[in-house]
Amino acid sequence: MLPRPDLRLIAGFALLLLSGCSSVSNAVSDIGNPLKPSHFPPLAWMSSTSSGSQETSTVSELRPAATPAPGVAALTATDPIAMRPDAVNTPDAPPTDDPTAANTRMDNYLIGPGDDLNVFVWRNPELSTHIPVRPDGKISIPLVEDVSAIGKTPTTLAREIEQKLRTFVKDPIVTIIVSQFVGPFAQQVRVIGEASQPRALPYRRNMTLLDVMIEVGGLTRFAAGDRSVIVRASDGKQESMKVHLDELVHDGAVGENVAMRPGDILIIPQRYF
């Protein structure tokens, strides 16, 4: 009587045969497809110079990408300013009430009667001219008559002349250059009385009483400097402020060097004999 065959052993041999047939068919298909990606090494292997570096490249390719930190993830290509190394997220500076900055913004020269203006029209020398501002505050240039200039900045006046010249010139470019400064009456400081050269002065920013005395050439020998008065308009009213010019000019008392304002009138009386 034949022994009973072991079914588990037969099943094992069957599995071995099936796996061998599968390997042979895969090999045959690989030979028929020489361009299969598995036939070529990874790109990192091609740039490596040793087997050790090939292994490192392979490991690095198989390694999963690290999750960026929250701070790094915020710097993306959609926010180029944030990626700048010098970018600093700081809150906007609050507006300041700096009086110096306010004076700088208001320190624009205004044209007045008696100012000498150079009107330059680019590429049109026949229209460029040198003219004074008339007592009525107007000027006239070739092709343009009676343009009001008083109380305007040189830039504002230049833009207005450009608009008037467009009728005759294509795309005119005008520049106004003030060569002699007098300014409007509201921006002048007038000196009368016993000054060496009493006259009206154009106000300049940060002008002081000593600056005025230098401009008018000082006091005459008949001047009562310590009885001088500055008449100043404030809130629609005129105020008088007594100043001691003798102490300022002759004794160097800098405490008497008060600040001047546009429209001030300095009155220097004559002394009694």
| Residue 208 belongs to some domain of the structure | yes
Per-residue model confidence as pLDDT tens digits over 216-272:
999 999 999 999 999 999 888 999 999 999 999 999 999 999 999 999 999 999 998
> Which of 180, 195, 210 is the C-terminal boundary of a domain?
180
Do 249 and 206 share a domain, yes or no?
yes
For 208, phi then psi, to 5°, come to -120, 175
Q: What is the pLDDT of residue 183?
A: 87
| Residue 5 belongs to some domain of the structure | no
- Cα–Cα distance list, 181 to 17, 131, 234 (Å): 112, 13, 25
Q: What is the pLDDT of residue 128?
A: 97
> Which of 138, 165, 180 is the C-terminal boundary of a domain?
180
Cα distance between the two ends of the chain: 169
Q: What is the CATH number of the domain that holds 153?
A: 3.30.1950.10
Q: Torsion angle, CA of 246/250/255/261, rounded to 10 degrees?
A: 60
Do 196 and 135 share a domain, yes or no?
no
| Residue 230 belongs to some domain of the structure | yes
Do 255 and 208 share a domain, yes or no?
yes
Do 143 and 217 share a domain, yes or no?
no
| Residue 110 belongs to some domain of the structure | no
Q: What is the pLDDT of residue 108?
A: 86
17 vs 173, residue with greater confidence: 173
Query: Which one, of 60, 35, 180, 160, lies nearest residue 109 by Cα?
Result: 180
Do 192 and 262 share a domain, yes or no?
yes
Per-residue model confidence as pLDDT tens digits over 67-112:
544 444 444 444 443 433 344 444 444 444 443 443 444 468 899 9
| Residue 93 belongs to some domain of the structure | no
Query: Which one, of 196, 223, 212, lies nearest residue 264 by Cα?
Result: 212
Q: What is the pLDDT of residue 182?
A: 86
| Residue 130 belongs to some domain of the structure | yes
Cα–Cα dist 149/271, whole Å: 42
For tokens 């740039």, the residue is 47
| Residue 66 belongs to some domain of the structure | no
Q: What is the pLDDT of residue 24?
A: 46
Residue 111: how many CB atoms within 10 A of its CB?
A: 26
Do 160 and 191 share a domain, yes or no?
no
Do 153 and 224 share a domain, yes or no?
no
| Residue 216 belongs to some domain of the structure | yes
Token pair belonging to 152: 């305007």
> Which of 124, 149, 180 is the C-terminal boundary of a domain?
180
Residue 199: how many CB atoms within 10 A of its CB?
A: 13
Per-residue model confidence as pLDDT tens digits over 132-152:
999 999 999 999 999 999 999
Contact 42, 61 (CB under 8 A): yes
DSSP 8-state assignment for residue 271: P
Q: Which domain holds residue 169?
A: 116-180
Q: What's the number of domains the chain is made of?
A: 2
Token pair belonging to 84: 């700048």
Per-residue model confidence as pLDDT tens digits over 153-169:
999 999 999 999 999 99
Query: Which one, of 180, 193, 198, 183, lies nearest residue 263 by Cα?
Result: 183
Token pair belonging to 198: 């009493």
Do 191 and 175 share a domain, yes or no?
no
Q: What is the CATH number of the domain that holds 192?
A: 3.10.560.10
- Burial zone of 272 (CB within 10 Å; 0-12 exposed, 13-18 middle, 19+ buried): exposed
H-only helix segments in the chain: 7-32, 43-46, 51-62, 70-73, 80-83, 99-106, 154-165, 209-215, 245-249
